Structure 1
Amino acid sequence: MSPELLTLLMFLTLILCIPLGHPLAITLAAVAMLFGLIDNGFNVPALLDLFVNNNWGIFLNYTLVAIPLFIFMAQILDRSKVSEALFDALYRSMGKVRGGLGLAVIVVSTVFAATTGIIGASVVAMGLMAGPALLRRGYDRGMSAGIICSSGTLGILIPPSIMLVVYGGLTGLKETSVGNLFAGAILPGLVLSGLYLAYVAIRCGINPSLGPPIPAEEDTLTAGQKAAMILKSFLPPFSLILLVMGTILAGVATPTEAAAMGGLGALILALVNRMLSWEIIAQSCVSTLRITCMIMLLFVGGKLFSVVFLSIGGGDVVADLLLGMDVSPYVVLAIMMAVVFFLGMFIDWAAILLVTVPIFTPIAMDLDFNPLWFAMLVCINLQTSFLTPPFGYALFYFKGVAPPAYTMGDIYKGIVPFVAIQILGLILMVVFPGLITWLPALFFGN
């Protein structure tokens, strides 16, 4: 069987198997085993050798130790109610502005993203806090859902992002080390947050019924009291951000070491907030174990898939197809981004990285694209995977904790403009690559 036919059949089989509902890691591994056996003449020992030799390196990758540490930090922060204090302070300070409560949600989500790196924690926390509050204040349900879901997804991009740690562990390139990826993601994350803020401010400024301000009689705090509330609630998470990101960017600590300090810092914040108990620590440890096991199982399944895909010649088939096109390199880039966007509608981000990075990264380098710049485009693109139906995780996270008044129709309608904003942000990163490369060059000289 020709490599071209095997490549086509392998992708079609994966697409057909995903809707069956089995765990994605198992689906990837099963498809890999089937086509691996077809390719090597059903030589089972040879296939097992291939799997063991290629997966062993995953468990020897020191960088990936940061994954459970960052997850533990996020779990402790989620239970220590750090974001609730900040949300309350901003809500009281910005409530008189049109769309002010929505703007407060975006700001808090941006800060929370820089302390967690996990989508579920951000969307669920803001859904519980802001979902009912936005509803009570007469905010449009679609816009409210879009604000919470889209700003909650910033946690997958703004460091310390688990996705960036996974990406750095996959490539093994100096240009896409975790430190470079963290530095490269800061400005894109802030740009997206700024675009969300601008959209909400403009829409609510034009049509106040979408996000009405709170009544004047409820605004009883002085400017000094508001400033003190914001300062008191902002300093703890900002200190943690400086501890984690500052040590990485200053070259004082590796991402793994910084993650360990972040976990310790989260414990201290929980203790200060009087939310630290053995029960919370036990719950956080169990959640960390479950999420880490899920991610590592996806690593194994995705690695098996990519290894077999490359061994049957799939990588060469895709590379020859894209590089053989008589078009601009940016047209090839657009095709790769479209593939990532499409896959994001159906497949988990980790599986997409594990399948596409080994295939697309060599193609990007052949086209003389900066590996760091290309990596960040993929990661920004993957942020949309949490919002795009039918399997946008953020949509279901929010629906699971939102008041019954929010229907799936409201949620689907509300995320459309924010997906468009994310695509606009991706285009800005293509047009202005310095937004990605400037900070890594400043801190690491790359």
Structure 2
Amino acid sequence: MSLEFMTIAMFATLVIAITFGHPLAYTLAGVATLFGLIDNGGSIPMLFDMFANNAWGLMNNYTLVAIPLFILMAQLLDRSKVSDALFEALYVVLGGLKGGLGLAVVVVCTVFAATTGIIGASVVAMGLLATPALIKKGYQKELASGIICASGTLGILIPPSIMMVVYGGLTGMKETSVGNLFAGAIFPGLMLASLYFIYILIRCNINPQLGPPISKEEASTYSSTQKWAMTLKSLVPPLGLILAVMGTILAGVATPTEAAGLGSGGAMLLAFFNKKLSWQVLKEASYATLKTTSMVMLLFIGGKFFSTVFLSMGGGDVVADLLIGSGMNRWAILGIMMAIVFLMGMFIDWAAILLVTVPIFMPIAMEIGFDPLWFSLLMCVNLQTSFLTPPFGYALFYFKGVAPEGYTMMHIYKGILPFVALQIISLALLCLFPSIVTWLPGVFFGS
């Protein structure tokens, strides 16, 4: 069989297997096994050696130790109710503006994203906390769901992010180390949060019925001094944790893995001071961490098997020759790669997309002259859309699971469309102004 046929057949088999609903990690590993045997003449020992070496390399990767530690930090913070106090304070401070409660959700999710990095925790927490308040104050259902789903996905981009840890561990390059990725992701993440903020403010000022302000009586319950005191009191603990985690990484004091351990300890202290720390909380947080880590690592292993077989049989060269040899300029090639990632995000988990596409696309991007760190952040921002795009956007189903009665999937689908457009706009801005990504890593690491 020709190499081109094998390349197409391997991807086609993966897509067909996924449509049948098989678990993604096992599907990736199963397809890799099938085509690995075809490629090496049915030699099981040779394939086993290849898989064993790859699995050992993953398990021996020190950077990946940060994954369970960051997940534990997120689980403890979710149970310490840090976001509850912050939302209650911002409810009063911003609620008097048109769209003010929506703005409060964006701010809370931005702060929460910088302390957790877990999408499910942010969307579920804000879905339970903010949705009843938004609906009670007369917010349009579509807008309310779009705000919560989109803002909740900021956790996968704003560091510390599990996706960045996986990406850094996958490439093993100095330019795309976890520290560089964390530094490079700060401004894109804040830019995206700002785009959400500006969109809500403009849209609700044009049509106040979409997001009416709270009543003047409710807004005047507290004095200005009391409002700022409430906000600062609720902001200081998470900001302290952000400084402990990100500050130590950017200052070069700690590796991301060490900072993750520090963050887990800080989250435990916050839970203790909020009187939420108990053996039951520790047990639940540890169990949830075990489940999530196991899922991520199984995907990592399955994806690694798939990409290893694909590259070893020459599939990467076929894709590279197809794109580079097409005669298109490098921006057209970049557009095709981003379109492929965007479309895959509608159907496949972000971790599997990274593991399948990065080993293929990164060499192509470097060969046509793109900065690897900048390209990596484009991939990560693009992958954020995978949580919002129908039919399988995870954030949509997280929100539907906690949404009040009367919410349909159509309300949610309509609500997220403007925010997906904003994410695409953010990609365009990163292409026009690459320094949004590259400036901060250059300041801290000289990259």
TM-score category (smaller protein): over 0.9
Residue 224 of structure 1 is matched in structure 2 by: 225
Residue 212 of structure 1 is matched in structure 2 by: 212
Is 1:275 the counterpart of 2:294? The answer is no
Residue 376 of structure 1 is matched in structure 2 by: 377
Residue 421 of structure 1 is matched in structure 2 by: 422
State the Cα distance separating 1:50 from its structure 2 match: 1.2
Q: Alpha carbon RMSD of aligned pairs, Å?
A: 0.6
Partner Cα separation in structure 1 for residue 364 and residue 105 of structure 2? 39
1:410 is aligned with what amino acid? Answer: H
SS of 2:390's partner is coil
Residue 64 of structure 1 is matched in structure 2 by: 64
Partner Cα separation in structure 1 for residue 276 and residue 93 of structure 2? 25
Residue 101 of structure 1 is matched in structure 2 by: 101
Partner Cα separation in structure 1 for residue 108 and residue 189 of structure 2? 14
Is 1:343 the counterpart of 2:365? The answer is no
Residue pairs, 1:21-420, within 5 angstroms: 21-219=21-219, 220-420=221-421
SS of 2:214's partner is coil
Identity of aligned residues (%): 68
Is 1:10 the counterpart of 2:10? The answer is yes
What are the superposed Cα offsets for residues 288-320 of structure 1, whole Å, 9 maximum, x if unpaired?
111101111001100110011111110000000
What is the TM-score when the length of structure 1 is the normalising length?
0.99
Which consecutive aligned stretches of 4+ in structure 1 deviate over 6 angstroms post-superposition? Answer: none
State the Cα distance separating 1:21 from its structure 2 match: 1.4
What are the superposed Cα offsets for residues 147-205 of structure 1, whole Å, 9 maximum, x if unpaired?
00000000000000000000000001000000000000000000000000000000000
State the Cα distance separating 1:19 from its structure 2 match: 1.6
SS of 1:209's partner is coil
Partner Cα separation in structure 1 for residue 294 and residue 9 of structure 2? 30
2:185 is aligned with what amino acid? Answer: A
SS of 1:406's partner is coil
Partner Cα separation in structure 2 for residue 247 and residue 307 of structure 1? 35
SS of 2:42's partner is coil
Partner Cα separation in structure 2 for residue 79 and residue 22 of structure 1? 32
What are the superposed Cα offsets for residues 40-76 of structure 1, whole Å, 9 maximum, x if unpaired?
1211111111111122110110000000000000000
2:17 is aligned with what amino acid? Answer: C
SS of 1:116's partner is coil
2:214 is aligned with what amino acid? Answer: I
What is the TM-score when the length of structure 2 is the normalising length?
0.99
Partner Cα separation in structure 2 for residue 325 and residue 19 of structure 1? 31
**Consecutive unaligned residues in structure 1, runs of 5 or more:** none
Partner Cα separation in structure 2 for residue 34 and residue 135 of structure 1? 51
**Consecutive unaligned residues in structure 2, runs of 5 or more:** none
State the Cα distance separating 1:217 from its structure 2 match: 1.5
SS of 2:176's partner is coil
Partner Cα separation in structure 1 for residue 145 and residue 406 of structure 2? 11
1:433 is aligned with what amino acid? Answer: P
State the Cα distance separating 1:406 from its structure 2 match: 1.6
State the Cα distance separating 1:358 from its structure 2 match: 0.5
What are the superposed Cα offsets for residues 70-109 of structure 1, whole Å, 9 maximum, x if unpaired?
0000000000000000000000111110000000000000
2:157 is aligned with what amino acid? Answer: L
SS of 1:115's partner is coil
Residue 439 of structure 1 is matched in structure 2 by: 440
Partner Cα separation in structure 1 for residue 98 and residue 367 of structure 2? 49
SS of 2:209's partner is helix
SS of 2:348's partner is coil
2:109 is aligned with what amino acid? Answer: S
Partner Cα separation in structure 2 for residue 328 and residue 434 of structure 1? 22
State the Cα distance separating 1:405 from its structure 2 match: 2.0
Partner Cα separation in structure 2 for residue 53 and residue 254 of structure 1? 26
SS of 2:115's partner is helix
State the Cα distance separating 1:15 from its structure 2 match: 0.7
What are the superposed Cα offsets for residues 231-269 of structure 1, whole Å, 9 maximum, x if unpaired?
000000000000000000000000000000000000000
Partner Cα separation in structure 2 for residue 325 and residue 16 of structure 1? 28
Would you say how many aligned residue pairs link Structure 1 and Structure 2? 446
Partner Cα separation in structure 1 for residue 410 and residue 295 of structure 2? 30
Partner Cα separation in structure 2 for residue 231 and residue 67 of structure 1? 30
Partner Cα separation in structure 1 for residue 175 and residue 122 of structure 2? 29
Partner Cα separation in structure 2 for residue 326 and residue 21 of structure 1? 38
SS of 1:208's partner is coil
SS of 2:404's partner is coil
Partner Cα separation in structure 2 for residue 399 and residue 106 of structure 1? 19
Deviates more, 1:342-351 or 1:52-61: 52-61
State the Cα distance separating 1:215 from its structure 2 match: 1.0
Partner Cα separation in structure 2 for residue 378 and residue 345 of structure 1? 15
Partner Cα separation in structure 1 for residue 200 and residue 275 of structure 2? 35
